[in-house]
Structure 1
Amino acid sequence: MNTLQLLFNAVTVIFIAATMFAAGLATTLPALCTVFTDLPLLLLVLLANLVCVPLLGWGVAALFGLPAASFIALLLVASSPGGPFGAKLGMVQNGDVVAGAATQVLLAAIGSITFGPTANVILKTANVGGGVSLDVATLMLTVAVLQLVPFAVGLIVRHYAPSTAQAWHPVAAMVSNVTFLVVLVGMLVGNWRAVIALIGSLTLLAGFVFAVIAFALGTALATGPGARRTTMGGVAAVRNAGPALAAVGIAFGNEPAILGALAAVLLSGLAAALPIAAVLSRRRGVQLPTTPGSDA
């Protein structure tokens, strides 16, 4: 692994941890309890992210008649909920950051267990890619270290030292914003050849369409005010790259064609979700992150 790749990986880790830490600093325990005791919301979010979006990925891949590598990449992405970019989209759109961060962390934890079986069943049923075997314990540990722990630390600081949380939040948010841009640029620079190679195919378009429909599904399958529903849309649209990358390495030997297609799907998904979040942000104007039960 070269120096640039190591640097990119380090920045990605910082982005994920800073995003979840900032979300924790902006979250109160009562607001978090409100989210986790809202059973209709939780059930709909789980239905959308664990069932509907994976099936959507299969449907889009089949509809566009994607080649095997792109088909596998899209199914892996669709089967992997709880991407940290989902929490970031909640911030970008001035949405319900508390609900977005809470459900994103929950989905990441559950997804570390469900990803392997979900991807395996769909790939076998679609008769493409063979089986996927993943180390569930390693995935769960990764989620805990990079997402659950920073969020919990931020939450504890907010609960026991609210003035400190208020002082730290702008810095954490700035680090999240800067590293977010670096990660985006790094994905483009590091995979530009693979992305360009796929321009003649329908992979980029399929990833874009998948993200748009997933955003709509996540918004529709949610309860509460508009800010919360569209935040759930962002959580559904942006998937967790970690398990998908692990699957490519473990089950497919880091096949370049699949890695390139995976990068293309992830980038096209962000290209679809970010403008939607930006439009929502402009409509709502500059405001403090909403808490569950408040509207935009």
Structure 2
Amino acid sequence: MDTMQLLVNAVTVVFIAATMFAAGLGTTLPALRAVFATPLLPLLALLANLVVIPLLGWGVAALFGLSAAAFIALVLAASSPGGPLGAKLSALRDGDVVAGTAIQVLLAAVGSLTFGLTANGVLALAEVGGGISIDVAALVRTVAILQLVPFAVGLSLRHCTPLTAQSWHGAAAKVSTVTFVAVLAGMLLGNWQAVVALLGSRTLLAGAVLAAAAFATGMALATGPPARRAGMGGVAAVRNAGPALAAIGIAFDDDPAILAAFAGVLVSGMAVALPIAAVLSRRRGATPA
């Protein structure tokens, strides 16, 4: 493994841990209880993100006839819910921040346990990946530790020492954002030849289509006012890079083609999700109270 990949892997660990630590620092127990007091919303979010969107990923990959590497990357993305940037989309212009954050955390926590099984099942049914199977136990250990432990620590700090948690939250969120950009840049630069090969390919289009379909699914399978539905769409559209990157490292030995395709899927997905969220937020702002 070259120096660049080692550096990207190290920054990825920091990104995952910092993201979930920041989520814990920014979450209160009363807010979580308020969202989960009516279980229909979280149940619909789990259905959308753990079942419908992975199947959409399989369908989109098959529809566009993607290569094996791109197929795997799209399925990994579709199978990995709870991307932290999704909660930020729900905060645009008076969005339902509490619900967005709570559902994102729920999806990240549950998804860290279900991701390996879901991705394995889809790839096996699609007969893609050359029979390679993701080590679910190893993946659960890696991702659960990196995600659940930092979140629990952050949540505990918020509950026991709220002033300290609030003062740390901004710095942790900045570390999360900076390291996410660094990871994405590292994947793009470290595999630039494979990335260049993606330009004009169907992989980027497939990533964009999946993001749009996931956004629509999140909104459709949600309850509450338009602001909350739009927030659920944003949470669904942004997938969680942490488990997918761990799987690429564990099961596929950091295959450059898969890493490049996954980076392309993330970029094209964000390029679609951000404008949709912005348009919906402007419509909310233009609606008379």
Question: TM-score, structure 2 length as denominator?
Answer: 0.83
Q: Using the TM superposition, give the Cα deviation of residue 64 of structure 1 relative to its aligned residue in structure 2, in angstroms.
A: 1.6
1:112–1:136 CA contact under 8 A, matched in 2: no
Q: Using the TM superposition, give the Cα deviation of residue 130 of structure 1 relative to its aligned residue in structure 2, in angstroms.
A: 4.2
**Alignment CA distance shift 1:169-1:256 (3 Å):** closer
Amino acid at match of 2:274: L
1-structure distance, mates of 2:148, 2:283: 31
2-structure distance, mates of 1:171, 1:124: 41
Q: Using the TM superposition, give the Cα deviation of residue 208 of structure 1 relative to its aligned residue in structure 2, in angstroms.
A: 0.9
Give identity over the alignment, percent: 73
Alignment correspondent of 2:100 = 100
Amino acid at match of 1:239: R
CA deviation map 1:123-175 (0-9, x unaligned): 33333334453333332333333222222222222222222233233333333
1:19–1:88 CA contact under 8 A, matched in 2: no
Question: 1:231 aligned to 2:231?
Answer: yes
Question: 1:121 aligned to 2:121?
Answer: yes
Q: Using the TM superposition, give the Cα deviation of residue 67 of structure 1 relative to its aligned residue in structure 2, in angstroms.
A: 2.5
2-structure distance, mates of 1:184, 1:24: 23
**Alignment CA distance shift 1:26-1:283 (3 Å):** farther
Amino acid at match of 2:11: V
Q: Using the TM superposition, give the Cα deviation of residue 24 of structure 1 relative to its aligned residue in structure 2, in angstroms.
A: 2.2
The residue correspondences of 1:244-255 to structure 2 (distance < 5 A) are 244-255=244-255
Alignment correspondent of 1:267 = 267
1-structure distance, mates of 2:271, 2:185: 12
> What SS does structure 1 have at the residue aligned with 2:74?
helix
Q: Once structures 1 and 2 are overlaid, which stretch shifts more, 50-59 or 150-159?
A: 150-159
**Alignment CA distance shift 1:242-1:155 (3 Å):** closer
1:21–1:153 CA contact under 8 A, matched in 2: yes
Alignment correspondent of 1:241 = 241
**Alignment CA distance shift 1:193-1:171 (3 Å):** same
Alignment correspondent of 1:291 = none
2-structure distance, mates of 1:187, 1:108: 22
Alignment correspondent of 2:47 = 47
> What SS does structure 2 have at the residue aligned with 1:128?
coil
Q: Using the TM superposition, give the Cα deviation of residue 281 of structure 1 relative to its aligned residue in structure 2, in angstroms.
A: 5.9
2:25–2:158 CA contact under 8 A, matched in 1: yes
Alignment correspondent of 1:75 = 75
Q: Using the TM superposition, give the Cα deviation of residue 202 of structure 1 relative to its aligned residue in structure 2, in angstroms.
A: 0.7
1-structure distance, mates of 2:8, 2:77: 20
2-structure distance, mates of 1:252, 1:18: 25
**Alignment CA distance shift 1:234-1:166 (3 Å):** same
Q: Once structures 1 and 2 are overlaid, which stretch shifts more, 84-93 or 191-200?
A: 84-93
Q: Using the TM superposition, give the Cα deviation of residue 252 of structure 1 relative to its aligned residue in structure 2, in angstroms.
A: 4.4
2-structure distance, mates of 1:251, 1:152: 28
The residue correspondences of 1:145-164 to structure 2 (distance < 5 A) are 145-164=145-164
**Alignment CA distance shift 1:160-1:250 (3 Å):** closer
**Alignment CA distance shift 1:98-1:120 (3 Å):** same
1-structure distance, mates of 2:272, 2:257: 23
Amino acid at match of 2:123: L
1:84–1:104 CA contact under 8 A, matched in 2: yes
The residue correspondences of 1:139-288 to structure 2 (distance < 5 A) are 139-279=139-279
Question: 1:34 aligned to 2:30?
Answer: no
Alignment correspondent of 1:293 = none
Question: TM-score, structure 1 length as denominator?
Answer: 0.82
1:23–1:98 CA contact under 8 A, matched in 2: no
Q: Using the TM superposition, give the Cα deviation of residue 201 of structure 1 relative to its aligned residue in structure 2, in angstroms.
A: 2.0
1-structure distance, mates of 2:179, 2:232: 23
The residue correspondences of 1:5-44 to structure 2 (distance < 5 A) are 5-44=5-44
2:120–2:134 CA contact under 8 A, matched in 1: no
Unaligned runs of 5+ in 2: none
